[in-house]
Amino acid sequence: MVSMNAIYLVVTGVVFVLLGYRFYSKFIAEKIYRLDPNFETPAYTKRDDVDYIPTDRIVLWGHHFTTVAGAAPIIGPAIALIWGWLPAFIWVVLGTMFFAGVHDFGALWVSVRNEGKSIGSLTGEVISVRARNLFMIVIFLLLLMVNAVFAVSISNALVATPSSVIPTWSAIAVAVVIGVLIYKMHVPILWPTIVGTTILYAVIWVGDQVPVELPAVVMGLSAGPQWILILFGYAAVASLLPVWLLLQPRDYINGIQLFIGLGLLYAAVLLAGPEITAPAFNMDAKVIGAPPLVPLLFVTIACGAISGFHGLVASGTTSKQLDKEPDARFVGYLGSLGEGLLAIATIVVVSAGLGSSEEWRAVYSEFGMHGIDTFTRGGAGILASGLGLPVEFAATLLTVMAVLFAGTTMDSGVRIQRMIIQEWGTIYKMPFMQNHYLATLLAVSSCLVLAFGAGGSDGQGGMLIWPLFGTTNQLLAGITLLVISIILVKLKRPYKYTLYPMFFVTAMSVLAALYQLMGFFENGQYTLLAFDLLIIVAAILVILEGFSAFNREKANTV
């Protein structure tokens, strides 16, 4: 096998995605979305200084970039390396350039052009009300899966790396103190940031010295499931607290962590120049039980190539704060590069940091058993050889970083789930569902059913939810691209740049969902089977209605 230095991979990936921004996004901005600097955005037309307020594009970019680059661009590629590094790399780079960029950018643009409405709302307007209701169900299922799978990922990471326990939980205390200082005591941002970040990294050193392991068995539950329960308990409390106290400072620390983490990883790879020891294509994949590359690669790596979740972010708060329409290219397209860069970094460290080819194969001997821990193991060695950090400290640092990313998604996810349940309580006139605490309990219980239903009380195999999460995420992205395409048809503009990605992503998702259906049935995993069926039915209905709307609009414009 011819070995290759990881630097080539890094440089190729970064250059291509930047070329995508320089040329492809410019083409889309000028010829397809036709951004108009004189268009008055909803931040001005509906300004209320609550939701609608013009905001600096660098701030919006930073928010989009740090929101989309979370734990998923780490976990997905770590799992997908089972097929070799080349398929994952190509999908991440091309996906970021031609799928994610256009999707995030497009979701932001259509929302800005339509009074800041969310993609869900627009689905109701351009397709049908039934499609919108199904869309809301898909979003709820996605949140359920995000919370469940991240809880399993975090618990696996905390068990595998006991030195990360103290820093992970200390980060909550650091966030609360930062929240109080900035919001209540109006301390300017600089010193809480510097001191808070310094304390966080100091506590990482402490965690290294004082690893914490939960008891082996408590009430029949092993350490993994114990962590899952603790995490959901925490997420429930975090989602109920005032946002300024915990969620806001946690998001902020996350953003800082992301920039530092990306900087460290890329610097380490460039300085260490490790050789890639993973195969470009893993010929043993089928033998060790990996499902077929097509379609599963495209749902295993969602965030990192294209993710429907990001359209919700873009059309959620971002579109209501966009100052000028041309900013959408910078915020939406360039913002989506955050996930691509993190995914590329993961591919590199997992393909070059796990030792020799034989050692790599020993790690990748079974499908679905990889995640944050694999990323940590690969990255720690590279940080050690590239930057001279002690290996154990580097391992703890990377684990804490990934766990914090997943943790903030969990507590925000539970909060959004609770708000959706409360909204259903209002729409369907069920007062008990409008209660904060009951709605939170319902949200967390539904996630626990999935988390334990997937893996059983021993928590093993919880990562089986991952492809299902990716499938749902990609279906959401497909629906968003369909909505954008229909709007382009109405405007009599070329729509193939959003429609072709839509076909591909939707086809792969449906195929993956059907493939997994067989697997869940054969293995007797009826909870997952039920979720999968629900997703397939919802997706098919929305797509059929979507195409009906598409053809209707095409007929109207002839």
Partner 1 sequence: MGRWKRWLHLADEFYKAPYRGAIAREKRDQEDLFMLLVFSELMGVPNPASYYTLELQPILLENFHDWHTRMGMEKSPLDNFRCC
Residues that bind partner 1 (CB under 8 A): 49-51, 53, 55-56, 58-60, 62-63, 67, 182, 188-190, 193, 242-244, 247-249, 251-252, 255, 317, 320-321
Residue 154 backbone phi and psi in degrees, to 5: -65, -45
Nearer to partner 1, 185 or 283 (CB): 185
Residue 284 near residue 81, CB atoms below 8 Å? no
Tell me the closest approach of the beta carbon of residue 445 to partner 1, in angstroms.
24
Tell me the closest approach of the beta carbon of residue 439 to partner 1, in angstroms.
15
Helix (H, G, I), strand (E, B) or coil at 45: helix
Residue 369 near residue 81, CB atoms below 8 Å? no
- Could you tell me the two tokens for 346? 């993961």
Tell me the closest approach of the beta carbon of residue 16 to partner 1, in angstroms.
28
Tell me the closest approach of the beta carbon of residue 53 to partner 1, in angstroms.
7
Q: How many CA atoms lie within 13 A of 189 on its CB side?
A: 5
Nearer to partner 1, 189 or 544 (CB): 189
Tell me the closest approach of the beta carbon of residue 72 to partner 1, in angstroms.
19
Nearer to partner 1, 317 or 460 (CB): 317
Nearer to partner 1, 111 or 506 (CB): 111
Tell me the closest approach of the beta carbon of residue 171 to partner 1, in angstroms.
16
Matching residue, tokens 């820093």? 167
Task: Give the residue among 208, 55, 147, 107 at the shortest CA–CA distance from 485.
Answer: 107
Nearer to partner 1, 49 or 358 (CB): 49
Nearer to partner 1, 50 or 558 (CB): 50
Task: Give the residue among 468, 445, 460, 447 at the shortest CA–CA distance from 528.
Answer: 468
What DSSP designation does 276 have? E
- CA–CA separation, 474 and 95 (whole Å): 12
Nearer to partner 1, 22 or 186 (CB): 186
Residue 391 near residue 63, CB atoms below 8 Å? no
Nearer to partner 1, 63 or 103 (CB): 63
- Cα torsion 161, 167, 170, 174 to 10°: value is -150
Task: Give the residue among 406, 317, 319 at the shortest CA–CA distance from 113.
Answer: 319
Tell me the closest approach of the beta carbon of residue 73 to partner 1, in angstroms.
19
- CA–CA separation, 447 and 196 (whole Å): 31
- Cα dist. 359→80, 236, 245, 281, 377 in Å? 17, 40, 45, 16, 12
User: Which H or E run contains 4?
Assistant: strand 4-5
Nearer to partner 1, 31 or 436 (CB): 436
Tell me the closest approach of the beta carbon of residue 416 to partner 1, in angstroms.
11
- How do the residues of the chain divide into helix, strand and coil, expressed in percent and rounded to 5? 75, 0, 20
Nearer to partner 1, 254 or 399 (CB): 254
Nearer to partner 1, 19 or 59 (CB): 59
DSSP-assigned states of every residue in 105-123: HHHHHHHHHTTT--HHHHH
- CA–CA separation, 514 and 9 (whole Å): 33
Nearer to partner 1, 211 or 255 (CB): 255
Tell me the closest approach of the beta carbon of residue 540 to partner 1, in angstroms.
35
Tell me the closest approach of the beta carbon of residue 248 to partner 1, in angstroms.
4
Tell me the closest approach of the beta carbon of residue 50 to partner 1, in angstroms.
4
Tell me the closest approach of the beta carbon of residue 69 to partner 1, in angstroms.
14
- CA–CA separation, 98 and 349 (whole Å): 24
For residue 404, what are the contacts with CB-CB under 8 A and spacing of at least 6?
A: 168, 171, 250, 253, 254, 257
Residue 425 near residue 232, CB atoms below 8 Å? no
- Could you tell me the two tokens for 123? 């689905």
